[in-house]
Amino acid sequence: MSVKILYFAGLREALGIGSETLELPAGVATVGTLRDWLVGLGRERLASAKNLRCAVNQEMGGPETAVRDGDEVAFFPPVTGG
Partner 1 sequence: MTVRVQEADFDLNAELTALRAGDARVGALASFVGLVRDINDGAGVSEITLEHYPGMTERALEAIVDEAKTRWDLYGVLVIHRVGPLRPCDQIVLVAVTSAHRGEAFAACEFIMDYLKTRAPFWKREATPDGARWVDAREADDSAAARWQKEDS
The DSSP secondary-structure symbol of 66 reads: B
Structural contact between residues 58 and 73, judged by C-beta atoms closer than 8 angstroms: no
Round to whole Å and give the CA distance between 81 and 68: 29
**Contact between 54 and partner 1 (CB under 8 A)?**
no
Using rule CB under 8 A, residue 82 touches partner 1: yes
Q: Which of residues 7-26 bind partner 1 (CB under 8 A)?
A: 8-10, 13
Distance CA 74, CA 40 (A): 18
Size of the site for partner 1 (CB under 8 A): 18
**Does 77 sit near partner 1 (CB under 8 A)?**
yes
**Footprint of partner 1 on this chain (CB under 8 A)?**
6, 8-10, 13, 51, 55, 58-60, 74, 76-82
